[in-house]
Structures are given as structure tokens and as C-alpha cells.
Structure 1
């Protein structure tokens, strides 16, 4: 890669694709990493055709446009940088790298499950347990939450929450997953616990659901919060999620979502973990154990606590690693 392109990477001039299956969780991590590099990527949503998936990494020998299914074309000119995620995209990412003659610096976010060595860089959370010369381990999921984003959100949403009592407590509610559940009874119990916290501490609540929160369960939570000073976002108007993180003095987040916990821990605020029915996988347990050992999170015990820790800054660190490797490749 020419030195001029290395300088372009620092100023946001590299061409960049984000490749995903279209799943919001993985795509958002790729977009966060591109934003950390100062890039505005072209988003490509595609997956390898079922016919070719059995080839695994060997599918890279085929033209990407023949491998892919989806509305977006995978054709030259190839980008300078490719950031991909999603198991059905891993082989496509390798095919693009090969089709570019190795010129496309190829980054895969999370475990590609196709082997590690063929990618220029793999950015994966440490609880995945990956190791290798081209693996960059993060503390959590890649997040757009940083000081600048929080400062901007605080200015935007401060008037919205001005009438709530202090301290403000953000409540990030997840929901059903392969290992967790949130029934209406669970939602009612969770709402009752939050109402009790407000009554005993005098706090105002900032409450939001996730895409996986069952509607009936969130309604039960809302009923339990009736009469409690709370701002509840129901999906209408500007999303106040960053405003919640920016203006809250403490954050409560359910234990089903690595992404929401990572966002919360990027804020530097005390993060209390709300238990959900179900059973954590070994990977999830490693994630929470590490953050608890570092002092970032604590289980919610019914009252607010205050503490400090080193906020997560995985996007900035991963972006720095990409720049370093691009510069290193230019010197070879």
C-alpha cells in the first residue's frame, strides 16, 4: 500500500466496505470500527450461497460475485479496507481479499470460524479465547460510545430529562435469547425492583428496551413502574440511548447482552448487572467475570453503589492497531 494511502487512512480517505449478513448486532460493530478510523464505509449486505458454504475457507478461490447472495453486488473496484462480520460472510471476505490480489486489508470482527491465518486482522472479544499473531483481543463488543458521543448526547437530551429527580439511573432492558428469557412475570418483577429502587433512593429512571425485549414483558414492566418518576422510551422520536448513558449517574443493564453491557462500560459510569432467568454460556461467564475483576461491573443488589474503573475503549484501540498494521505493511 502506498504511503499516500496510509496518510489517507489517518484522514479518512481510504475506501472502505463494511460487509455483513445484515444482522444489526454484528453490522453495528463493523460500523463502529469504521467510525473509529474516521471512515464512512460503503455497506454491503450479502452472504455466501448455501451451495458453497461447505467449502469453508477454500471458497476464497472463487470470484466473490459468484459466491454471494443478496441485493448488493460484490465487484471491483475492491476497497482498500474491508471490515466484515458474520459467519456467512467470512468466506466472502477471504474471496474479496484474494480477488484484490491481497491489496484489500481484510479485518474480521468476532470469530470467523474458518481459521484465523488468512485474514489480515481479527478483532474479537477476549472471552472468545482466540489467539494468534493477527488477533487483536478486545474487552467487550465494539461500541460507538466515547467521550465525544456522550458529550454531544448530553447537550441534546439534558432538557428532555430536566424534570426528573436526581440521581438519574439508566435502565437498559434486553430480553429473550438462546440462553435467557424475559416473561411478563419477569418483566413485572423487574419493574417492581426498579420502582423500589426509585422509592428508596429518590432516583429518576431512564428506561429503554432492546430489539429482543418481548412486547408483553415490557408492558408488564411499565405497569409495575406506574407512578414512578421515569422517562420510558417506546421507540418514538429521537433515540435517547446515548443520552441515557451520558446523563445517568449509574447504569442498570440486563445480563443477556454483551453489546449493551459494553456500551454501558464505555461510559465509565457504575454498571449494575440485572440478572435474567436462564443460564450463561461459558463465553458469557468469562466476559462478566473479567469485567467484574476489573471493577467495571457489579451485580445489582437492590441499591446504588458508586465506584470508578477504566472505561472500555475497544474501538479506539482496535482502530489504532489497524493503522499500525497498515503502516507496517507499507514498510515491507
Structure 2
């Protein structure tokens, strides 16, 4: 039995990566029975004035209508009303949850315990290419100050310098939020330094797939979950919390409690006996979605 999926895009790469991850998970669960049709971003003004794109009537009727991001919510709901199917929203929507058939929401966002809510551990991320791990390859990814964390420049530099003592081939990259001069302060460390502006498309996926060890600053929770799609040992570089109640810090702490990541820099030089399986949340959530469609919860 085939499963027809309409995947609504909103023009935001981060959102579209999550919906692509869910489609990947559905294919892992249901095999080649999944047909996916991508529908480009539809502006609200155009939607209200002209309605849904005319070419949707030529597509096979959807079983699932999926999307992430606020701009996709109204088009998905209108598509269900006209063409049928079930709407699956990824991330907590701005509209009432009861309007959607299913919602896949990170547990650290603390959604209400409703029958249509599927909890994910972090954002959904696409699988990395397998079989590319290069022994002795280390990767350090630096974030920056955020609404949840302050930036401790001295502490981050000290931790990075301690990590670099391990005899690995290290690559260090910053991000848009990284304070200026952070990467320059590590010049002469022997690591390969890569500014985010200079990284070509696909560079990060390649680095994550090749690394044997990956360290990420604690503000970058989405990057931590992308790193957990690899087979690498993943570590977190701690940062001071801006407030006592911090849902992102709680999500990172759960990863530490589960042993999925480490905060012990001494581990950076220890031998790795067994490769860690990828986290694979996109498969877990996709299989949960298919089970709930077959056996609804009252």
C-alpha cells in the first residue's frame, strides 16, 4: 500500500531540513512505498487572494501533508480541507494544536500531553552518509551567545585548548553567532580553522560524517543533535546559563544523563572501542506516526 506525502516548503532551510528528515524516516519505515511531492513556499497574500496553487489538483491525493515553520501552517490546513489527508506539523505551531492531525515537537519545548503530539528528542535531522569515518579526525563547532546562554570566551578557549592536546587532526569552525576574533584567537594551535562564511555547501555534513570525535558548545543544541546523527563520540563545551530555568540546558543535561554526549575533556584522547549508532530520531518519530495512523489513541 503506497503512502502519498505532500511536503510543504517555507523557504527556511532549517525548517525544510526537518521535513526532509521526516520523509527520510518514513522511507526507512515503509520503504519504497512512500511517494513525496514537494510544494514550494506559498505567500500568505497570494494564498488569500488566489488560493492554493492550481497544479496541486494534478497530484495524487495526499495521505500525509507535512511541513515545518509558520508559513507552512495555513497552506497545509487549506490543502487538507480541499484534498483530504492528515496534516503533520513539525515543531510547535503558532496555531492551536487541535487543528492538526499530528504534531512532532521536541520534548524540551514541553508540549501538552495530547493524543496527537509525538515527542522528539531534539530537532529532526537527516541521516549522514555512512562509512566515511576517518580515524583520528576531530571536529569542534563553536556557537555564540543566545537567549539561553551567555558566552564565556575565556572558558571556551581554555576548553578548546585542552581538547587540542589530544593527538588528533582537529578542524574548528565558528558560526554566525560566534563573537569576532574567537577563531583568530586559536591561530597557531595546529588545528585547521574554517570560518563559516568560507565553508562551501555540504561542508558540515562531510565533516560530521568523517569525524571520530565532535565537540559542540552547549548553546548549539540543534548542532548537538546533528552531531548525534554521526558515529562519532560527541562532547559538549559548557556555557553559563542566563537563567535558572533553561529548557535548552535541560535538553543538553538529558543527553549527558543518557550517556549520549560527554562533558569530560579527558575523553577526547581516549581510544574508542565501538562505533556509536546514529541517534535516528527521524526514524523513531516516523514509525510512531505510522503506528498512530493505524491505531489512533482515543
* Fold shared per TM-score above 0.5: yes
2-structure distance, mates of 1:316, 1:98 = 28
1-structure distance, mates of 2:174, 2:117 = 33
What is residue 85 of structure 1 aligned with on the other side? Answer: 68
Any unmatched runs of 5+ in structure 2?
28-34
Q: CA RMSD in A?
A: 3.4
1:91-170 equivalences under 5 Å are 91-100=74-83, 103-130=84-111, 131-146=113-128, 149-151=129-131, 154=132, 167-170=136-139
The DSSP-based 3-state class of the residue aligned with 2:183 is helix
The DSSP-based 3-state class of the residue aligned with 1:16 is strand
Of the three residues 2, 8, 11, the one matched with 2:2 is 8
Distance 1:197 1:292, change over 3 A: closer
Residue 204 in structure 1 maps to residue 169 in structure 2: yes
Of the three residues 191, 215, 218, the one matched with 1:252 is 215
CA displacement at 1:123 relative to structure 2: 0.9
Distance 1:129 1:65, change over 3 A: same
Any unmatched runs of 5+ in structure 1?
1-6, 50-63, 159-165
Normalized against structure 1, the TM-score is what?
Answer: 0.71
1-structure distance, mates of 2:72, 2:53 = 14
What is residue 192 of structure 2 aligned with on the other side? Answer: 230
Could you give the per-residue CA deviations for residues 1-60 of structure 1, whole angstroms, max 9, x where no partner exists?
xxxxxx222xxxx2422233x2322221112112333455414224546xxxxxxxxxxx
Of the three residues 150, 155, 177, the one matched with 1:213 is 177
What is residue 42 of structure 1 aligned with on the other side? Answer: 38
Residue 17 in structure 1 maps to residue 7 in structure 2: yes
Normalized against structure 2, the TM-score is what?
Answer: 0.78
1-structure distance, mates of 2:215, 2:188 = 19
